[in-house]
Amino acid sequence: VGDSKDYDEEVKSVCPFCGVGCQVSLKVKDGRVKFVEGIDGPANEGRLCVKGRFGFDYIHHDHRLTKPLIRRDDAPAKGLNVDPANWQTHFREATWEEALEAASAGLKGRGRDVAGFGSAKCTNEEAYLFQKFIRQGFGHNNVDHCTRLCHASSVAALLENVGSGAVTATFNEIENADVAIVIGANPIENHPVAATYFKQFTKRGGKLIVMDPRGQALKRFASHMLQFRPGADVSMLNAIMHVIVEEKLYDQQYIDAYTENWEAEKSHLAGFAPEAMEAICGIDAETLREVARTFAGAKAAMIFWGMGVSQHIHGTDNSRCLISLALMTGQVGRPGSGLHPLRGQNNVQGASDAGLIPMFLPDYQTVTDDGVRSAFTDVWGSGDFSAEKGLTVTEIVDAIHADQIKAMYILGENPAMSDPDVDHARAALAKLDHLVVQDIFITETANYADVILPASAFAEKSGTVTNTNRQVQMGRPAVAPPGEAREDWWITTELAKRCGLDWTYTHPSEIFAEMKGFMKSLDNITWDRLEGENAVTYPSLSPTDPGQAIVFSDGFPRPEGRARFTPADVIPPAEAPDADYPMILTTGRQLEHWHTGSMTRRSSVLDAVEPEANASLHPSTLRKIGVNPGEMVQLTTRRGSVTIMARADRAVAPDMVFLPFAYVEAAANLLTNSAVDPYGKIPEFKFSAVRAEKPAAI
């Protein structure tokens, strides 16, 4: 933490952690970021959480990559075995020319042998370039990123039923609501600045309905806390909607004007009386009825959801229910109303918009449409690429095991930590005959690399990012990258040239201009405008319109302008607890640690606050298995076992375990199930059968 006058320069940029997208001022002295303050961005109005304020010094960490690295001929066999402070046993330093030649030699001309994972931590321009590199360079769509592990099922349901994968209203609209549902999200830990708006909403009398199998700090502010049985989301939500139908609390005028398939939804809901559902979801019928009346009686109501909704094999069905609830009550398109999946990574919205997904080109234009593809190849100046939807994150891992993919380019993602059943993913990475990793540290994934290309942190680069609110914001460089590290767009461009592509980009603004040609969502948003205004929300209706906080006031981007009700059936979790694995494991983030921990565990303040891997269990569970808080507990699923420090937490139900996924020494994903939702292809991170026990004495 610096003195308020102890800096030479201040640079406006955007926090690199969560999808809230808080604007920051980076205070710089002697080529280093000394401290950070919040500034008046549209999402944060000067506020920051502990990560945004104190989690920045990873950019100056000793582990930063400063030169390209090439795997040594005499390196040990590929595995999770590289010490980031003593990597010389595995890699040797190389010049950029040598490293780019080595990287491209293993990719060039290999067509379908190659797949790519881009990153939601990179800018929009970098995401666009990455998907272009795979599609133009290798002729197919096997390119994906961590949206597949995050909100892919929410996006699938939103595209299906309202015609757009983004939020219908900014989270700040809650100030105009009188009722809000927060389900499967823990904003005080994961979207902390958004949570401050939720708390303010309750202070002025707004009714907050929190629904989550795990208790959470927002409970203190809630009018209703529904701690339902894990996996029972569809039963609970259908029961609430059943009451709205039964008591005729729906908005018939809105339904008639703006929706389709209402009769099918109505008859489907007849089978979900609260009295029949209460034992399944663990919430008594009267509470379900009261919540239904509260939501349906609101003048303006919003629904927020997180990965507790999306990370299930029925994640798309969960989101379908939330969309139906909003539609039947007419709670879309007006001030204080709307659907808002709280996006995770700082640029997961933007990376998805930019086409970093296997089924869609920029602006969700489908790869299966010949006209769409030819519009791209006309500008790209190259031949057609495949009309077949590409493979997703977990499908690419399986394709490596099946010898269908043999080389990968991974930019800023860490599948050796983030994928479900991660031993399976690690074995796939080890099996590749060529792996190029572009990152700022030797991540767990970089352990398996043949070539490592040193990239830039957020404070070292120019580029735009798009937050959960659809706000496109300008990130600016405050300090130079360390050593010979370079901006990601530059690295991808140089790699593309060596793979035979005729790319001539010299600045991200040129890439942004090319993207605009394909993306109507960026109409009226220019690089110069963002330089001047810092943020513009899409859609922006004119060169001076700051953008539309609320969309779909008069119809939806679907046939005849109508949103759709899609009835959701009950699909049980893929793995039921049994005598061997009697409890339920759920995974997630903590306030201080971000995703796979590569940044926050190298941030001195955050690491000091939360230094040790830990799992949370109810005190009664710990007593039952004979483990005291602070002692080690062994957690075992059908995939693997970890031994980790136990924390007593009454917010976790007695038959549950909560395990954060930031800790490599007790990696949560050694335990998780790789079963996926059939539509979004998102893994069921929120439900695995697990056994918790006292470890055997050593």
Residues 504-533 that bind ligand SF4 (CB under 6 A): none
Beta carbon nearer to ligand SF4, 18 or 657 = 18
Residue 696 DSSP code? P
Helix axis angle for 393-401 and 422-431, nearest 10°, is 60
* Rounded least distance, CB 599 to ligand SF4, Å: 11
**Taking CB under 6 A as the rule, does residue 304 contact ligand SF4?**
no
> Which residue is at the shortest CB distance from ligand SF4?
52
Question: Applying CB under 6 A, which of residues 84, 118, 192, 358 lies at the interface with ligand SF4?
Answer: 192
Q: Please give the span between the terminal C-alpha atoms of the chain, in angstroms, as a whole number.
A: 43
* Rounded least distance, CB 47 to ligand SF4, Å: 7
Beta carbon nearer to ligand SF4, 114 or 193 = 193
CA-CA-CA-CA dihedral for 121, 123, 125, 128, to nearest 10: 20
Beta carbon nearer to ligand SF4, 119 or 621 = 119
**How many residues contact ligand SF4, by CB under 6 A?**
14
DSSP string, 402-449: TTS--EEEEES--HHHHSSSHHHHHHHHHH-SEEEEEESS--TTGGG-
**Taking CB under 6 A as the rule, does residue 20 contact ligand SF4?**
yes
Distance, CA of 535 to CA of 260 (rounded, Å): 35
Beta carbon nearer to ligand SF4, 17 or 687 = 17
**Taking CB under 6 A as the rule, does residue 15 contact ligand SF4?**
yes
Residue written as token pair 């793995």: 575
* Rounded least distance, CB 114 to ligand SF4, Å: 33
Question: Applying CB under 6 A, which of residues 33, 42, 51, 627 lies at the interface with ligand SF4?
Answer: 51
Tokens of 43: 């999402």
* Rounded least distance, CB 335 to ligand SF4, Å: 24
Beta carbon nearer to ligand SF4, 35 or 254 = 35
Beta carbon nearer to ligand SF4, 51 or 266 = 51
Beta carbon nearer to ligand SF4, 283 or 478 = 478
**CA distances to 107, 405, 408, 433 from 113, in Å:** 8, 4, 8, 10
Distance, CA of 486 to CA of 254 (rounded, Å): 52
Beta carbon nearer to ligand SF4, 22 or 322 = 22
Q: Identify any residues that bridge with 587 across adjacent strands, giving them in sequence order.
A: 659
Q: Which stretch binds ligand SF4 (CB under 6 A): 47-55, 144-152, 470-478, 674-682?
A: 47-55
- Positive or negative, the CA dihedral 107, 111, 115, 120 is positive
User: Please, are residues 174 and 302 in contact by the beta-carbon 8 Å criterion?
Assistant: yes
Comparing CA positions, the residue from 84, 161, 179 lying closest to residue 437 is 84
Beta carbon nearer to ligand SF4, 21 or 137 = 21
Q: Which stretch binds ligand SF4 (CB under 6 A): 20-28, 228-236, 440-448, 663-671?
A: 20-28
Distance, CA of 14 to CA of 487 (rounded, Å): 16
Beta carbon nearer to ligand SF4, 52 or 315 = 52
Phi and psi at residue 472, in whole multiples of 5°?
A: -85, 120
* Rounded least distance, CB 483 to ligand SF4, Å: 27
What residues contact 107, with CB distance under 8 A and at least 6 apart? 114, 137, 138, 407, 409, 434, 436, 495, 499
User: Please, are residues 340 and 167 in contact by the beta-carbon 8 Å criterion?
Assistant: yes
Q: Which stretch binds ligand SF4 (CB under 6 A): 18-26, 481-489, 565-573, 584-592?
A: 18-26
Coil, strand or helix at 584: strand
* Rounded least distance, CB 191 to ligand SF4, Å: 6
* Rounded least distance, CB 308 to ligand SF4, Å: 18
Coil, strand or helix at 603: coil
**Taking CB under 6 A as the rule, does residue 52 contact ligand SF4?**
yes
**Taking CB under 6 A as the rule, does residue 21 contact ligand SF4?**
yes
**Taking CB under 6 A as the rule, does residue 340 contact ligand SF4?**
no
Beta carbon nearer to ligand SF4, 88 or 200 = 200
Residues 230-259 that bind ligand SF4 (CB under 6 A): none
Burial of 564 (0-12, 13-18, 19+ CB in 10 A): buried
Distance, CA of 492 to CA of 498 (rounded, Å): 10
Burial of 510 (0-12, 13-18, 19+ CB in 10 A): middle
Question: Applying CB under 6 A, which of residues 7, 13, 18, 511 lies at the interface with ligand SF4?
Answer: 18
Distance from CA of residue 467 to its chain's centroid? 11
Comparing CA positions, the residue from 577, 564, 587, 568 lying closest to residue 677 is 568
* Rounded least distance, CB 57 to ligand SF4, Å: 15
**Taking CB under 6 A as the rule, does residue 342 contact ligand SF4?**
no
Distance, CA of 232 to CA of 277 (rounded, Å): 9
**Taking CB under 6 A as the rule, does residue 457 contact ligand SF4?**
no
- Positive or negative, the CA dihedral 43, 47, 51, 52 is positive
CA-CA-CA-CA dihedral for 171, 172, 178, 184, to nearest 10: 20
**Taking CB under 6 A as the rule, does residue 193 contact ligand SF4?**
yes
Cβ of 304: how many Cβ atoms within 10 Å?
A: 27
Q: Which stretch binds ligand SF4 (CB under 6 A): 45-53, 170-178, 391-399, 412-420?
A: 45-53
Beta carbon nearer to ligand SF4, 194 or 300 = 194
Q: Which stretch binds ligand SF4 (CB under 6 A): 17-25, 61-69, 214-222, 615-623?
A: 17-25
Q: Are strands 641-648 and 632-636 parallel, antiparallel or unpaired?
A: antiparallel
Distance from CA of residue 566 to its chain's centroid? 24
Binding mask 402-441 for ligand SF4 (x = CB under 6 A): ----------------------------------------
* Rounded least distance, CB 53 to ligand SF4, Å: 7
Q: Which stretch binds ligand SF4 (CB under 6 A): 189-197, 205-213, 222-230, 260-268?
A: 189-197
Question: Applying CB under 6 A, which of residues 28, 48, 65, 322 lies at the interface with ligand SF4?
Answer: 48
Q: Which stretch binds ligand SF4 (CB under 6 A): 174-182, 188-196, 246-254, 504-512?
A: 188-196
* Rounded least distance, CB 171 to ligand SF4, Å: 11
* Rounded least distance, CB 37 to ligand SF4, Å: 11
**Taking CB under 6 A as the rule, does residue 328 contact ligand SF4?**
no
Beta carbon nearer to ligand SF4, 44 or 587 = 44
Give the chain's length.
Answer: 698
Which secondary-structure segment (H or E) carries 509?
helix 508-518
Interaction site with ligand SF4 (CB under 6 A):
15, 17-18, 20-22, 44, 48-49, 51-52, 191-193
